[in-house]
Structure 1
Amino acid sequence: MSAPIVIDPLDFARNAEVLRGKMVVSGFERLRDYLTDDRGELQYSIVGGSGAGTEPSLQIRIQGQISLKCQRCLGTIGHMLDLRTDLLLARDKSELARLDADASVDCILATPELDIAALVEDEVILSLPASPRHGEDECAIDKQESGNTEEGRSAFSALAALKKLH
């Protein structure tokens, strides 16, 4: 495994640095709990700068595909990611509380060593649907139910026919 990528987010934002790369999905230990398999990779880019005001910020973009588990049929769903997040950086806890009071912004406390892999993993986990499901008519349960409906109709028809005989 490669060495972790760590930045000082305030310096990164102040110097308007840019970081791009790829990370294998299998390297995300916490994310794997949500996946049916851990193959593939995610592309990321992080751009330092300033937010709407003068607050330092990171613009994060993550792209790729992961495999989630459908909560209805427990089958695999290919889930495309194209995440864009503007993350404000708070210099201390009081600034974090002030920024966090605005529900329209995302912010974190800027620690001197920010692990980029953990940041990417956090953003992906936060973006996951609460209950992933296949689309309409794609779920194995839907296909089974449509088959059972026809059988169910014929079973009720048979029951109705038996009632008529008695």
Structure 2
Amino acid sequence: MFDQLVIDALDFVRSGKSLQGNVPLLNLERLRDYLTNSAGELAYLVTGLLDERDRPLLKMSVNGIIDLSCQRCLEKIEYTLDVKTALLLARNEDELSRYDEDMFVDAIYASNELDILALIEDEVILSLPVSPRHEDTAGCHPSTGTGIHEAAVKEHPFTVLASLKQSH
């Protein structure tokens, strides 16, 4: 298993630290459920800073290429990840609940043992498309059968219906 990256979130921000590296897809167990192939890796950059109102903030950037399954044809799609997010760090539960009321703010609890790899995995999963598909249907490869569905793909649907009506 890949080493965990655990930080004290508020100390990380106070010190203005940043973490940068690559994580193999194979080590992101929850993300693997969405992938057709777990080869490759993601590049990440996490920076601690204060926002314009002096609130602690983690800025994250995650980049890479992953393989998803097209929901039309079930073939592989190469999906380019370019995740950029900023997470406010809440110092206590009251502050977190106030942040949660604002739909334009993403916030997490400022743990003194924050697992950065789990946070990266969460953000990547949240950024995935709900129903990944090839951008154009030319990228999809329908089955080569000769059923009615395949005929409907090649002909206008009403032509297929007319032929069914005539056969009964």
Where 2:139 maps in the other structure, the secondary structure is coil
1:7 aligns with 2:12: no
Q: Distance in 2 between matches of 1:129 and 1:11?
A: 34
Bigger radius of gyration among the two: 1
CA distance in 2, matches of 1:128, 1:2: 23
Note the alpha carbon deviations across 1:93-126, whole angstroms, 9 max, x for none. 1000111111111110111101111011001000
Contact 2:25/2:39 (8 A) holds in 1 = yes
The Cα RMSD (Å) is 2.5
User: Which residue is 1:125 aligned to?
Assistant: 125
1:7-86 equivalent positions in 2, closer than 5 A: 7-86=7-86
Specify the SS of the correspondent of 2:134: coil
Tell whether the 8 Å contact from 2:50 to 2:56 is kept in structure 1 after alignment: yes
Which residue matches 2:151?
148
Alignment gaps of 5+ in structure 1: none
Secondary structure of the residue that 1:141 maps to in structure 2? coil
| TM-score, normalization by structure 2 | 0.84
Deviations 1:64-107 (A, max 9, x none): 01111111111111010111101100011100011111111111
In 1, Cα distance between equivalents of 2:6 and 2:76 = 33
SS at match of 2:60: strand
Alignment of 1:92-103 (within 5 A): 92-103=92-103
Give the TM-score normalised by structure 1. Answer: 0.85
Distance 2:115 2:92 in 1: 18
Q: Does 1:114 align with 2:114?
A: yes
Over 4 Å off, 4+ runs: 142-147, 149-153
Deviation at 1:53, TM superposition (A): 1.4
1:20 shift after superposition: 0.3
In structure 2, the partner of 1:88 is: 88
- Aligned mates of 2:77, 2:67 — CA distance in 1: 5
Q: Percent identity?
A: 45
